[in-house]
Amino acid sequence: MKLVTVETMRAVDHEAIVNRGIPGPELMENAGRGIAERIRDDILGDPDSVRIAVFCGKGNNGGDGFVVGRYLHQYGCEVTMFFPSPVEKLSDDARLNHGRAAEKGVTLRPVESIEQLPGNLDFDYIIDAVFGTGFSGAPRGLLGELIESMNRPGIPIIAVDCPSGLDVDTGRAEGAVVRADHTFTLGLPKFGQYYSPGRELCGPVKVVPIGIPDDVIDGFAIRDNLITADMVASFLPERRPDGHKGDFGRLFILAGSTGLTGAATLAATASVRSGLGLVTVGCPRTLNPVLETKLTEAMTWPLPDVAGKGVLALRGLGEINRKSGECDAVVIGPGIGRHHETRELIARLIGKLDKPAIIDADGLNAFENNHAALAGDHPAGLVLTPHPSEFARLIDEPKLPRDIFGQYDLVRRYARTYDAVIVYKGSPTVVVAPDGALYLNPTGNDGMASGGTGDVLSGIIGSFLAQGMAPLEGAVAAVHLHGLAGDLAAAEYGRRALMAGDLIEFLPDAFEFIEALD
């Protein structure tokens, strides 16, 4: 599903209305009816006698609200509409739908001062249609007071398009902002609905089509996408009922150093939990007994280390190349350490690999001040998984831009430079293809800000690539399932208590949810 900024959504609407001749009131009717239907079906169940307050602004978001309220009234709800503007000051389309609501007998109450609002909002639900996605700045005066009034009683709030007061490009709010329990956004999802605090202020976001033709959206060549469960379901490879372990991929994970064998363990275990047939962990020889004890489903491959220090030595390069050639994909980096010989080993290895590879953690740090070793064509496929600090070490820029769109521009540039899919880890994580296409992941939570969760992700990506998925599709599917497993684990254990191993525990449930959609 395409993901847009406010400017792009405005341009799409303009194209549909002005150049395609779709009347604005028709789009507003589609929007309001669509949201009302979703409220009825997804939230209310039985709408009869449900008491609903609708707060409508003077612009088109308010117009959408008048339509939503009119349909909910028709479905049997007891609807009262509050609008903080004289009727003559409503936008043309909002005024039209105010009149239609009045004709249907909906209760309409103008509010010119906060004193005119009932002191006790005795309703089952509140619908927020005061400000739309074009709003920026801080709500002032009566409008700010209305927002605070909506938040105060603890009544569930449903936002039309976005919570009023939210900047849906940045996900921030400069003043009073509605704290919604549900958001029904119109046409296409917007970036700021997935950045904190916007993500939390929106609650679950559902997209409601408003009748804009697909070819209108396609005409804008939008490169940004929201990862959806349906998308992931379509990417997962089919499994042969008569398949054996050799049919489901062989993965080689180059990982581990003294004190960091847990990273290798997590990556290997996650890869097996993701449908992989066989995994081998290449580790420093002195640590092999440790990993033999920790790993049951994975094999180990002891490799030369540096004077018994528990770090991989350069002289193991030939053996690693041979072992990589026997596998379908390679993961490089979990817990591998930063010894200078290990760094040199990784830099030389990348130039010789003819299998899809994932470079993570200290594997990425091996290319600090050695960007040339990473640049160039990688015909077998390369996935890099940096968080912002690791990404900063991979590029020539001394500082990352403070704004997220500036960071994304850099990630796009270096995805092209390195001919790699870049998984830019954060909240939210995005996946960027070498051609600049961006995929934002809506799953995951702050409980995943814990050591080892990145190693779990590397194992899942490696598993998918070894099973034959293309690097982009494998990375997109992996980040979504990784976040979904984190959400399921948090629902069971709470976010505060979450640890990396919990994600592996809940991967089967995440797969079950996704595969049920296919």
90, pLDDT greater than 90 = yes
Question: Average of pLDDT values for 402-423?
Answer: 96
Copy the structure tokens of residue 482: 């990784």
Question: Average of pLDDT values for 168-178?
Answer: 96
6-222 and 238-483 share one fold:
no
CATH code of the domain made up of 6-222 = 3.40.50.10260
Residue 216 backbone phi and psi in degrees, to 5: -65, -45
Q: From edge to edge, which strands make up the β-sheet containing 224-226?
A: 224-226, 438-440, 430-432, 421-424, 382-385, 357-360, 329-332, 250-254, 278-284, 299-303
Query: From CA 363, how far away is CA 347, in angstroms rounded?
Result: 9
Delimit the domains of the chain by residue range. Answer: 6-222, 238-483
- What local confidence, expressed as pLDDT, does residue 98 receive? 97
* pLDDT, tens only, 199-230: 999 999 999 999 999 999 999 999 999 999 99
* pLDDT, tens only, 223-242: 999 999 999 999 999 998 99
Q: How far is CA 152 from CA 119, 122, 126, 503, in A?
A: 11, 12, 11, 36
Query: From CA 159, how far away is CA 112, in angstroms rounded?
Result: 22
- Do 172 and 403 touch, CB atoms closer than 8 A? no
Copy the structure tokens of residue 320: 């690693």
Question: Average of pLDDT values for 48-52?
Answer: 96
- 293 Cβ neighbours under 8 A, 6+ residues apart: none
Q: How far is CA 151 from CA 40, 54, 147, 488, 513, in A?
A: 22, 13, 6, 28, 33
Share of the chain above pLDDT 70, in %: 100
Q: 398 pLDDT band (50/70/90 cuts)?
A: confident
Query: From CA 345, how far away is CA 315, in angstroms rounded?
Result: 8
85, pLDDT greater than 90 = no
- What local confidence, expressed as pLDDT, does residue 43 receive? 97
Query: From CA 7, how far away is CA 222, in angstroms rounded?
Result: 12
118, pLDDT greater than 90 = no
- What local confidence, expressed as pLDDT, does residue 518 receive? 64
Q: Which residue has the higher pLDDT, 121 or 267?
A: 267
Q: 399 pLDDT band (50/70/90 cuts)?
A: confident
* pLDDT, tens only, 339-367: 999 999 999 999 889 999 999 999 999 99
Question: Average of pLDDT values for 40-64?
Answer: 96
* pLDDT, tens only, 130-154: 999 999 899 999 999 999 999 988 8
110, pLDDT greater than 90 = yes
- Do 416 and 463 touch, CB atoms closer than 8 A? no
Copy the structure tokens of residue 476: 């997109």
Q: How far is CA 93 from the centre of its chain?
A: 34
Cis peptide leading into residue 197 (ω within 30°): yes
Q: Which residue has the higher pLDDT, 66 or 154?
A: 66
Residue 115 backbone phi and psi in degrees, to 5: -65, -25
The alpha helices in 245-357, defined as continuous H runs, are: 261-273, 288-294, 317-325, 340-350
Q: 472 pLDDT band (50/70/90 cuts)?
A: very high
- What local confidence, expressed as pLDDT, does residue 5 receive? 97
- Given the candidates 3.40.50.300, 3.40.50.2020, 3.40.1190.20, 3.30.720.110, the CATH classification of the domain at 238-483 is 3.40.1190.20
Copy the structure tokens of residue 404: 């997220």
